Structure 1
Amino acid sequence: MRDLAAGFGYLLQGQRWVAAHRRRFGYALVPGLIALVLYLAAIVAVAWFVGDVVAWATPFADHWASPWQGVLRGFLDVLLLVLCLFLAVITFTALTLALGQPFYEALAGHVDRSLSPGDAPPGPGLSTWRMIKDGIALVLRAVVWGVVLFAAGFLPVVGQTVVPVVGIGVTGFFLVQELTTVAMQRRGIALRDQLTLLRSRRMLVWGFGIPLAAAFLVPFVAIVLMPGAVAGATLLTREALHEPTKPRT
């Protein structure tokens, strides 16, 4: 429970930190705005065609008696939309970080320097390509999880109770992994080691990631929270690595 509360606390601290430096880091909202426009267009397209896709995928139900055809296809419509929202939340973060890599690297570096003057990690010089490559690897993992959860959604009872809870936990974990990538790469930590570190502090990760994932479902909220989420993820990284998370006195 302590780690859950600490994770949520770092999420709030990150937002407060950016609010206190909003003049300097206001430009960090721009990548999220660009990504949002792209995702809104994609989500509208998915919502428009989801019925046709489900009907095409279930030809065996064409001659089912009412109301069973509608029940099956309506359930699959909702399940497919939920899967798309799951993937949208994960990939939105990856795309925004890739678009705003120089902005977010500068933000994470400033957070580090504000806590450890003269002793902050210098950063290995992050490349947009490495950010994109790691982002793709994470998205592929998320897709695998998404397909598994989508299939599990067909199971009676489990699909309506356990699967949504697991889905929230998975989404929160992947969000934190993506957001901590900036601070982790500044320290030269490879992707595999990043995952190992975060898995060792799952409660801390969930305390940060689950409420953020819920907030990211609201489009414009995601834009506003993104810079603070990067700042908070830098604090969480420092906690996981046993580095100071408060200014030295």
Structure 2
Amino acid sequence: MRSLRDFTSGVGFFFQGFGWVARHGRWWAFGLIPALIAFSVYVVALIFLGTNANDVAAFLTPFADSWSWRELFRTLVGIALFLGGLALAVVTFAAVTLAIGEPFYEKLSSAVDVLAHEVDQPFWRTLPRSIRDSLVTLFYVLLFTVPLFIMGFVPVVGQTVVPVLGAAVSGFFLTVELTTLALERRGMARKQRFALLRANKASALGFGVAVFVLFLVPFVAVIAMPAAVAGAALLVRNRLAPVPPGPATPA
């Protein structure tokens, strides 16, 4: 029962993030800039993958050249490749957007989560570490999602259990990415952040799954990105690593 309450609470923090950026419209507009840049890159990449999926499938399946049903098989492989690319885009969108817009989202997170004392480092020093941490997170994502992708071809299980597990895995790692800014400002390294989120798994899953589901909708990910950053800051401030209330949030 407590896990369910924590999961629901995690979902609630995402919507609290929407409420915060709705009350502070200039911060929402500020956070849309890197999200739009990343979205444009992903759209181009997915269009390219979609238009060349059959060619890629043919390249990957030379063993099927003699099959009478090779065209059907390669069409299915092409569809699977595109869906896999789409899922990867959803999972990595937050990481790429945060890397592109770290100065933007650092300011947004700081406005939501005001700290009297925080670990402050220049952008040129934090960017390489952020990229490295994102690559480590991506490795863990692939470690889980590749087997799930293969299991997706199993009848019944692939259409029921796998999507739920995929949403949970993707949601957790989205929370990992989105809470990085607020937790780094508290001086927490990657291993400490992972340990904290594992200890609060239900809240992390609730927040991340809500983000993941909305990020599946085209263009909604762009609109929701500033809210996700704000919600992650609120999740950290009020649940994961609480601090005494700071001064009034800037309007």
- Classify the TM-score, shorter chain: 0.7 to 0.9
The structure-2 alpha-carbon separation of the partners of 1:247 and 1:160, relative to structure 1 and needing over 3 Å to count, comes to farther
Instruction: Report the secondary structure of 1:167's partner residue.
Output: helix
Counterpart in the other structure of 1:112: 113
Within 5 A, what are the aligned runs for 1:123-142? 123-125=119-121, 127-142=126-141
CA drift at 1:120? 3.6
Which deviates further from its counterpart, 57-66 or 89-98? 57-66
Q: Which amino acid aligns with 1:91?
A: T
Within 5 A, what are the aligned runs for 1:182-193? 182-193=181-192
Within 5 A, what are the aligned runs for 1:41-190? 41-66=44-69, 69-113=70-114, 120-125=116-121, 127-190=126-189
CA drift at 1:218? 2.2
Which deviates further from its counterpart, 225-234 or 155-164? 155-164
Instruction: Report the secondary structure of 1:65's partner residue.
Output: coil
Q: Deviations over 1:48-103 (max 9, x none)?
A: 1111111222233333334xx45533432332222211211122111111111111
Which deviates further from its counterpart, 178-187 or 128-137? 128-137
Within 5 A, what are the aligned runs for 1:29-40? 29-40=32-43
Q: Deviations over 1:205-233 (max 9, x none)?
A: 12111121121122321111111111100
The structure-2 alpha-carbon separation of the partners of 1:235 and 1:26, relative to structure 1 and needing over 3 Å to count, comes to same
When the two structures are superposed, what TM-score results if normalisation uses the length of structure 1?
Answer: 0.88
- Aligned length in residues: 241
Q: Which amino acid aligns with 1:8?
A: V
- Does the aligned pair in 2 maintain the 1:142–1:174 contact within 8 Å? yes
Counterpart in the other structure of 1:2: 5
When the two structures are superposed, what TM-score results if normalisation uses the length of structure 2?
Answer: 0.87
Counterpart in the other structure of 1:116: none
The structure-2 alpha-carbon separation of the partners of 1:78 and 1:121, relative to structure 1 and needing over 3 Å to count, comes to farther
Counterpart in the other structure of 1:226: 225
Q: Which amino acid aligns with 1:134?
A: D
Structure 2, unaligned stretches of length 5 or more? none
Once residues 109 and 52 of structure 2 are traced to their aligned partners in structure 1, the CA distance between those partners, rounded to angstroms, is: 40
CA drift at 1:186? 0.5
Structure 1, unaligned stretches of length 5 or more? 114-118
